[in-house]
Structure 1
């Protein structure tokens, strides 16, 4: 039997416009809906989700909201009406036709038709048989199970295997000549409606003004899938098959949630949904990574079980209710006893409130450290500069007579404070060069035992009498590979650090020994020690040790950071072992020469 393609003839006051209709012919005709006003219920969702996490989340929430909207009614005709509502602004078209296909009878029947601004009675379109050889566009979709996008319908329908008709509103048909083709149609989109893998219908859209693009095709395909599930659910309910309807609804909801979850799991920001009772109904992978809480731990639980003092936090997050972009707010949040700085945005959705958050803890702490560093360096520079300027002015005065001893003391002060200023400037410059990876290191043979003895001898001359600096080194086998001047810088920094955190005096011992494949240097003191909680942070940039919550001594917080970077770039490692109140042992190892 030849393939029949029904062509709907639409007559208006302006002119007659004929749109091919899918529902009456096996080849399938389609109608495209003309753009009109945006959906009142869904426009906010689209805009909001675009703001929270951009396009992936926008599409997920759009489809999620569309599925709910379609499944709110159990009237099949209302499902089609709502489907048309959703399509109206999403995909441009001049009409839409939904057809069902009965595999047992092989007939294609029109279920819904809207053409050129008017809803038509499906009964005017006769049921027609499927061309099982795939002739014609609609039959091709049903037999192949694949969607069809045609951006040149006029040429497509001239292909052999199809017969085309004009159909008016009374159901009267007129066969079109083979060389005429459907007038007023440029593009067609035919999408299969499936159930358990089998094609049970076809949705056809047609457009007279422009071609369809991939984005419109993808969105229409998603909406057709949701409509098919909702229509099937409505039919089952209409037939009294309540159990089957519930199963279909669950399948549609599961598919919808699975799709949304896949999209939102790919988003870099944490996203979660709270229903109107404040219970978590969605928790994406990024939220798991930030909070260290798996989805099954928080699902169906109050947000306050994850975020301490959630009520206070919730009150400070503005919830966007309209198309305007949500305003982000950054707040300190406690999760499992740890303070995190999270930037939140929130939007209202039909399911509750969608929150998206980004972890800014590292950035916040870095900003705080930088601010503290600027203040610290300013103070560190001001103190020696004040001493230098004061001593210089005293030496320049003519109205007082200074003894030779006093002049020597003032000059020594100027020299010491000048050295201190130079050390601060060098630390800042070296840290900057390390950050930019601009510091060049040599790789020479260096006798660490000899270097330790020389450094101890030099530094002993300038230490307080309360500090006893001693060297305990092997005489042989302590040669390592590295940059001598930078190893000396590390050693001096560690000794200076040991002295700094030994306010009560005592012995500072520097020793060398052999380790597996390397040479180890240890600097041991009997000072205040380091709390276990601090030991993981002391080599970080800008970190300064504390005692009772206050810095033990002034400093830039760069010394140990520089040590770590220099040792690491010479192929070695650095660490510390310490007990509060009993002192600390800093050590580093370098490859053996």
Structure 2
């Protein structure tokens, strides 16, 4: 038998639908009206450990001897060529390849006319590794959220139950202290819920950016003032603004969220002076932008951890936190079309630098 290459094996109709089969991330297997394989792309070869030249021209059932999780032969169960003429295909199922390897399989039946015979069978294969990673990530997120919620909710429940049961036994100062603690814990729960909503929007690509004029230098000074008002010495911060700055259109609430997270990390995990530099930046394609650099003088981030800083659940130390903040920061910067990097500061501490293009008013972007 003359075996053709993978690209040559795909019939014109399939090539018109999927022009570059070998570039697809999922496995693509196509069988003709007789059930023999006519297309077997590179991803299918990788997932099944079967070479394309071994698959082409052979019966589909022998190339993909799939079984369900109960050990039943899948092709005999579904009977694509002799089954109900109204079926359009099979939804995604978790099936087994020889050796017990799991694979996600979807099948589509192509007919030249409704209820006519199947003239082509298109099978999509996906490895289960990505799904498993997603499931592990979701499980870890649930565990993290449950852990972070338990402490403030336990505190809120304890103080409110105590106040309700023994209100008359406490002085006004004691009541105030307990209510302030409840208020702070409620804020902590609210922040966690906001983080979860942000992650959901980032992961689904639905994070909205409502652009308005933003004075980056004023925003930085406002955050620093909040820390000094809260008790930190003014000498803990140094703000350097190199002007003039271009007019920046960005989402002010989300920029505050970015600045708040980076400064909180520098104060909590770093040491010495926290330096915030704001300057104009020349970005790619000759566009203007604004650059902000936040650096401290602490121990910094280990070199081996640099690539994981913006991933979920990364924590720079054991001083609490969900490990979600920097993941959200990067999602916000990406949504603005900017970039963020991490490195070592001039005095050895951590240094975060993000750049934002000047952007445009929201009504111009929609128009």
TM-score, normalising length: structure 2: 0.61
Larger proportion of helix: 2
Q: Equivalent of 1:574, from 336, 340, 350?
A: 340
CA shift, 1:268, in A, is 6.1
8 Å contact from structure 2 (residues 243, 279) kept in 1: no
Which of residues 301, 307, 328 is equivalent to 1:530?
Answer: 301
**1:589 and 2:359 aligned:** no
Q: Deviations over 1:424-458 (max 9, x none)?
A: 11111222233344443222221100110011112
2:152 and 2:213 map into 1 onto residues whose CA distance is 37
Shift of 1:475: 6.3
Contact map agreement 1:481 1:590 (CA 8 A) in 2: no
Q: Return closer, same or farther for 1:263/1:459 CA change in 2, 3 Å cut-off.
A: same
Q: Deviations over 1:507-549 (max 9, x none)?
A: 3332212221221111212334323333223223x332255xx
Q: What secondary structure is seen at the aligned counterpart in 2 of 1:413?
A: helix
Compared with structure 1, are the counterparts of its residues 515 and 55 closer, same or farther at alpha carbon in structure 2 (3 Å cutoff)? Answer: closer
* Number of equivalenced pairs: 271
Give the distance between the partners of 1:330 and 1:426, measured in 2 at CA. 45
d(CA) in 2 for partners of 1:329 and 1:585?
50
Question: Kindly tell me: are residues 397 and 528 of structure 1, through their superposed partners in 2, closer, same or farther at Cα, counting changes over 3 Å?
Answer: farther
**What corresponds to 1:267 in structure 2?**
44
Partners of 2:276 and 2:295 within 8 A in 1: yes
Residues 447 and 478 of structure 1 are in contact (CA less than 8 Å); yes or no, is this contact kept in structure 2?
no
Superposed CA deviations along residues 465-490 of structure 1, whole A, max 9, x for unmatched, are: 89934433346426422111111111
- Structure 2 unaligned segments of length 5 or more: list them: 1-26, 54-66, 75-94, 105-124, 283-287, 360-367
Partner of 1:90: none
Instruction: Answer yes or no: is 1:514 the counterpart of 2:291.
Output: no
Corresponding residue for residue 7 of structure 1: none
Which residue, out of 130, 133, 140, partners 1:372?
140
Equivalent residue number for residue 429 of structure 1: 197
In 1, Cα distance between equivalents of 2:258 and 2:303:
23
- Residues 520 and 378 (structure 1), Cα distance of their counterparts in 2 relative to 1, 3 Å cut: same
User: Is 1:327 the counterpart of 2:96 in the alignment?
Assistant: yes
Instruction: Compute the RMSD of aligned alpha carbons.
Output: 4.0
Q: Is the 8 A contact 1:519 1:589 kept in 2?
A: yes
Unaligned runs of 5+ in 1: 1-52, 60-213, 220-258, 274-281, 285-317, 332-341, 346-356
For normalisation by structure 1, the TM-score amounts to 0.39
- Structure 1 residues 477 and 372: alpha-carbon distance in aligned structure 2, compared to 1, 3 A threshold: same
**Alpha-carbon distance in 2 for matches of 1:264, 1:492:** 48
Note closer, same or farther for the CA distance 1:419–1:514 as it changes in structure 2 (3 Å cut): same
User: Which residue matches 1:418?
Assistant: 186
SS at match of 1:441: coil
Residue 90 of structure 2 corresponds to none
Q: 1:443–1:570: 8 Å Cα contact kept in structure 2? A: no
Instruction: Indicate which of 260, 269, 293 corresponds to 1:492.
Output: 260
2:313 — aligned with what?
543
CA contact (8 A) 1:343 1:358 kept: no
- 1:390 counterpart SS class: helix
Residue 378 of structure 1, CA deviation:
1.0
Deviation at 1:374, TM superposition (A): 0.5
Work out whether 1:388 is the aligned partner of 2:165.
no
1:56-135 alignment, distance < 5 Å: 56=30
Q: Offset of 1:380 from its aligned partner?
A: 0.8
* Distance (Å, rounded) in 1 between the aligned partners of 2:334 and 2:163: 46
Task: For residues 198-248 of structure 1, give each alpha carbon's deviation from its aligned partner in whole angstroms, at most 9, with x where no partner exists.
Answer: xxxxxxxxxxxxxxxx845x97xxxxxxxxxxxxxxxxxxxxxxxxxxxxx
Once the two structures are superposed, residues 15-41 of structure 1 have per-residue CA deviations (whole angstroms, 9 ceiling, x without a partner) of xxxxxxxxxxxxxxxxxxxxxxxxxxx
Aligned-partner Cα distance in 2 for 1:264–1:421 = 49
Give yes or no for contact 2:103–2:127 (8 Å, CA) kept in 1: no
